Structure 1
Amino acid sequence: MSDFLSNFDNDNYKQTLNDKKSKKEEQLEEDAELEDDLSTDDLNGNNSALSEHEGKIRRKKKRKRKSQPIPNQSIVPIEEESLEDDIEIDPDYQSKQTKRKAVIGASVVGLLLIGYIIYYQVTRVSVPNFSDKTVVDAKNWASENRMKPKIEQEYSTKVETNGVISQSVAPNKKLKKGSNITFKVSEGANPKEKITLPDFEKMSKSEVEQWISKNKADNVSIIDEYNDKVDKGKFIKLEFTDKEVTKENYLRQDIANVYFSKGKEVFEKNISVPDFSKKSKSDVEDWAKKNDIKVDYKEVDSDKIEAGLVVSQTVDPDTKVAKQDSMSVSISVGKAVVVPNFANYSIEEAANATSDLQVMTKEAFSDSVPFGQLISQSIEAGKKLTGNDEKVVNVVYSSGRPYIKSFFGQLEGDIPKLIYDNFNSKGACVTYEVYYVDSDKEKGQIVNANAYNQYIATNAHLVFAISNGKYASLPSE
């Protein structure tokens, strides 16, 4: 088609006319030569040659126009009868023309159809099936194909979050680029939906996992932890992070932890124990914390190891232990002072029994301990006192049973002091009472008592008779 149309541009068109004119001139000259040959053959009586040449001339002439002049030759008039004899009619000409037009028409229709198909394919795209795709996939496809996507979100327990639930245009349908298309996208399960929690204690770990997946309970977590009391794989407890949440009011958005036992934890013995001899307690504490070792610290006195340093350890150096193993370390508290038994000393000797202690002595009445013997000491004998202990010992010796003298003639107002100074100041617990009698003694004097000039109990109760002075003379000046 392009080659055919190119013949009609300005330069090609002129060249084509010139080429055709030249061909016509050559053809006319060729026909003239044939006629000359015919005339010569006719004169020579060659009938067969005449017949052959005549046929050639006639076939040539019927392709020419009647009015076409022959260049450089004179125009020879042709008789009408002779012209009609030269014209031959092609009986298939009409049908050839019809076929030619049909072919041209079909070609045009075919070209138009091909052009439409190409246009249709370029401007339209097949819509994929997004049922197993995400909203990101849908948006990317829409962007690549110049579509106008509309995203509508809704809760779904069947489609994962951001997954496409449905699409407004059916899969595999052709859609013109630039068209609108709507995608319904999952927001996941409704977080405010109430969920009935099962009895986790009756379920295995795999059953809990299946329940979580089925109910989209993504905020329920399974936590495995070591437990010395619960067998491996068994339920330990259900725990909610919010104290107000219970099994009865649990919502999907609430956080819950389901604990399962991993059994008793067994650690490999791959930790080497250092030699802590003469190292500080803080050194041991740092190592124990770093390696998760349980250490029991004991304080011991030592004449050689400075206070605060390690005296001994129950696990030998370079021994391999495991995490959470236990050991004991003894820490020096320095040189100790041994408290003596003060029963071996008198009250006079006790104060100087040891220079490392401050001894405070005291006498007290006793109903059972004889006079001069030890009643008690505030720190038991044989105990070792270190730098962290108070080195003061209170020692009490017996004054025997209390003895009451005759307080006759003493005034009633002096009785409290007499009781304290003579008895209660030394550990007794003596009480008293008074009553009044007619007497010739001066008013207020003690004239009688229920006990006097004798031993009494440490908890005795004394009764004093006080003169009311009824028969007494006035006090002399």
Structure 2
Amino acid sequence: MSDFLSNFSGDKYQKSQPKPNTSEKKKTPEPKPEPVKEEKKETTKEEKLPVQKGSRLEQIRNKISSSIEEFEHQEAQTQEKTVEPKKQLAKKHVAEEEKEFTSPDELYEKDPDYHNKRKKKFILIGVVSALLILLLSIAIYNMTHVNVPNFTGKDLSTAREWAVENGVKIDVKQKYDFDIEVNKVISQSIKEKKIKKGNTLNVTASLGPDEKEKIKLPDFAILTLSDAKKWIEKQKADNVTIVENYSETVEKNKYLRMDFPDKEVTAENYRRRDRLNVYYSKGKEVYQKDITVPNFAGKPVEEVDDWAKKNEIVVAKEEKPSDKVEVKKVISQSVAANEKMAKKEKLTITLSLGKAVKVPDFSGLTVAEAEEYQGAFETVIKRVYHDNVAYGHLISQSVEADKEYYEGQGKPKITLSYSLGKPYLKDLRESTQEGDLAKFFYEEFESKGANVTFSTYYVNSDKPKGTVVAMSRFSEFIPTKYNVSIGISLGNIKN
């Protein structure tokens, strides 16, 4: 039967029809049956896009695949329904068809929606393919491009970190800007848009206020501490430093002084980049009374000084004589032992001057007796000429009698002047040369308190030239203030 039906295929049926012009019927050999070729179903391989598991793209792809499989399944069922009735119809009426065969189309039941369904299938495949290509393009674009955030007003380091993390080059230009802080982003070439990885993002960052700009300094002496800080903030003078120090005399938050570390900088040529220190008072420093005072009675002053330096205590010292306490040791203290003191407070101590020593009256003592006091005093004995005080008697003493000195004050220096009486001028004639006169008058008179001087004149004489041949006075006592006239030989007379 299958061989029989194969003869009614489109081409063979036309060949098997009797030719109208043939006069005689010829027996046509029966052609060999050809196997019925089943129409192969077209399959479409879905090009899979590499996507992450569970992503939105994967969900779309799975949904499209399910739709295609469902469509193919419905079409397969339609074809089975179409082919199966054709086979049954052929078997049922095979006898009649062998007797009389008019058209091969009468053996098939046509499905009027078949071609429309195939057309829809190809359209669906085309749409899905276009959608997949679009999704792939979007994925590739998103993989090669990144969205640029708005860095305006943010730290430059934030933009640099973002550029490194996203594979974008960054080109930074800096400029002075009074209103924007240092290293803050002023502008950028791309903002809140996408940029391709590897491309360059141009960024302009702030250098802060112009450091070369001259600034007119205020009179800090009339500004309080808070006013000075406000001025620094307003002018963005970051190199002006406020230094607060304690002061015993200046009120808190008041101006103390200012200085420029660079000696070439003055208030007139000050620029924002220059350093300036402005000092303000913190008022008096208040300390806790947590320092225990030792008992310094009978202790040397060095021990008090060491303790005071260690604990920042101010020590005031007074002195008075004492027959019991050794020199430079503590007699008493203003703050009792075991009491508490605070830093910078004052402790007054009284130190011993030792025993009192009175200066004797040297007027009744000879030079030899006065020399015996050199152990107790530092005495200097001078012997000088005097017009009225006899030889060997005291003329004066530098420290008055009965004045008290103390061991702690050291030995007092006392100068004692004893009289040599009136000066005596010996005869210098014919025994003294003119060149020896200056030495003689200094040693004999001036060094011993007498103001005896000389003057010379020259005379004709047979004595050797330069010899003293005449004196206005000689071989007698003279006043302590006197001028001697001396004649000097010219040596121009020959015997």
TM-score, normalized by length of structure 2? 0.64
Change (3 A) 1:466 1:197: closer
Task: Note the alpha carbon deviations across 1:262-288, whole angstroms, 9 max, x for none.
Answer: 234444443333333454544433333
What letter matches 1:112 in structure 2? I
Task: Note the alpha carbon deviations across 1:309-355, whole angstroms, 9 max, x for none.
Answer: 55544443333333333334456677775543324545454334575
**Which residue among 118, 124, 143 is the counterpart of 1:103?**
124
Task: Answer whether contact 2:313 2:343 (CA < 8 A) is retained.
Answer: yes
Aligned to 1:128: 149
- Distance in 1 between residues matched to 2:429 and 2:281, nearest whole Å: 85
Change (3 A) 1:298 1:104: same
What letter matches 1:275 in structure 2? N
- Distance in 2 between residues matched to 1:363 and 1:434, nearest whole Å: 29
What letter matches 2:242 in structure 1? I
**Which residue among 261, 275, 286 is the counterpart of 2:295?**
275
Deviation of 1:140 (Å): 0.8
- Distance in 2 between residues matched to 1:385 and 1:412, nearest whole Å: 58
Secondary structure, counterpart of 2:396 in structure 1: strand
- Distance in 2 between residues matched to 1:430 and 1:61, nearest whole Å: 170
Aligned to 2:223: 203
- Distance in 1 between residues matched to 2:170 and 2:302, nearest whole Å: 68
What letter matches 1:292 in structure 2? E
Deviation of 1:432 (Å): 6.1
Deviation of 1:422 (Å): 8.7
Secondary structure, counterpart of 2:308 in structure 1: helix
Change (3 A) 1:77 1:298: farther
Deviation of 1:146 (Å): 0.7
**Which residue among 340, 346, 360 is the counterpart of 1:326?**
346
Aligned to 1:440: none
- Distance in 2 between residues matched to 1:84 and 1:372, nearest whole Å: 183
What letter matches 2:224 in structure 1? S
Task: Answer whether contact 1:449 1:462 (CA < 8 A) is retained.
Answer: no
Change (3 A) 1:117 1:328: same
Secondary structure, counterpart of 1:100 in structure 2: helix
Residue 156 in structure 1 maps to residue 200 in structure 2: no
Task: Answer whether contact 1:62 1:86 (CA < 8 A) is retained.
Answer: no
Change (3 A) 1:95 1:158: same
**1:289-300 mapped onto 2 (5 Å cutoff):** 289-297=309-317
Task: Note the alpha carbon deviations across 1:3-39, whole angstroms, 9 max, x for none.
Answer: 9859xxxxxxxxxxxxxxxx99xxxxxxxxxxxxxxx
**Which residue among 329, 337, 340 is the counterpart of 1:317?**
337
Deviation of 1:255 (Å): 1.0
Task: Note the alpha carbon deviations across 1:130-155, whole angstroms, 9 max, x for none.
Answer: 11222221111011111111222323
Task: Note the alpha carbon deviations across 1:375-419, whole angstroms, 9 max, x for none.
Answer: 33345543436488457644224567x4879x8x88487899998
Secondary structure, counterpart of 1:244 in structure 2: coil
**Which residue among 149, 167, 178 is the counterpart of 2:198?**
178
Deviation of 1:239 (Å): 1.6
Residue 288 in structure 1 maps to residue 308 in structure 2: yes
Unaligned runs of 5+ in 1: 7-22, 25-58, 438-442, 469-473
Task: Note the alpha carbon deviations across 1:165-221, whole angstroms, 9 max, x for none.
Answer: 22111x210112222111222233333333332333343333332332333322111
Unaligned runs of 5+ in 2: 1-42, 47-75, 460-467, 490-494
Deviation of 1:426 (Å): 5.5
Residue 194 in structure 1 maps to residue 214 in structure 2: yes
- Distance in 1 between residues matched to 2:81 and 2:288, nearest whole Å: 119
What letter matches 1:118 in structure 2? A
Change (3 A) 1:351 1:237: closer
Task: Answer whether contact 1:127 1:172 (CA < 8 A) is retained.
Answer: yes
Change (3 A) 1:4 1:274: farther
Residue 140 in structure 1 maps to residue 161 in structure 2: yes
- Distance in 1 between residues matched to 2:415 and 2:487, nearest whole Å: 40
Deviation of 1:231 (Å): 3.1
Aligned to 2:6: none
Moved more, 307-316 or 317-326: 307-316
- Distance in 2 between residues matched to 1:320 and 1:265, nearest whole Å: 17
- Distance in 2 between residues matched to 1:91 and 1:421, nearest whole Å: 165
What letter matches 2:304 in structure 1? V
Deviation of 1:88 (Å): 4.0
Change (3 A) 1:266 1:345: farther
Residue 235 in structure 1 maps to residue 247 in structure 2: no
Deviation of 1:240 (Å): 0.9
Aligned to 1:49: none
Secondary structure, counterpart of 2:360 in structure 1: coil
Change (3 A) 1:78 1:132: farther
- Distance in 2 between residues matched to 1:162 and 1:319, nearest whole Å: 58
- Distance in 1 between residues matched to 2:181 and 2:244, nearest whole Å: 26
Task: Answer whether contact 1:230 1:261 (CA < 8 A) is retained.
Answer: yes
Secondary structure, counterpart of 1:108 in structure 2: helix
- Distance in 2 between residues matched to 1:467 and 1:64, nearest whole Å: 182
Aligned to 1:225: 245
Aligned to 2:21: none
Task: Answer whether contact 1:451 1:462 (CA < 8 A) is retained.
Answer: no
Aligned to 1:429: 451
Task: Answer whether contact 2:378 2:413 (CA < 8 A) is retained.
Answer: yes
Secondary structure, counterpart of 2:186 in structure 1: strand
Secondary structure, counterpart of 2:128 in structure 1: helix
Secondary structure, counterpart of 2:84 in structure 1: coil
- Distance in 2 between residues matched to 1:399 and 1:314, nearest whole Å: 55
Task: Answer whether contact 2:356 2:404 (CA < 8 A) is retained.
Answer: no
Among all aligned residue pairs of Structure 1 and Structure 2, give the percentage whose two residues are the same amino acid. 39
Deviation of 1:129 (Å): 0.9
Deviation of 1:125 (Å): 1.4
What letter matches 1:64 in structure 2? E
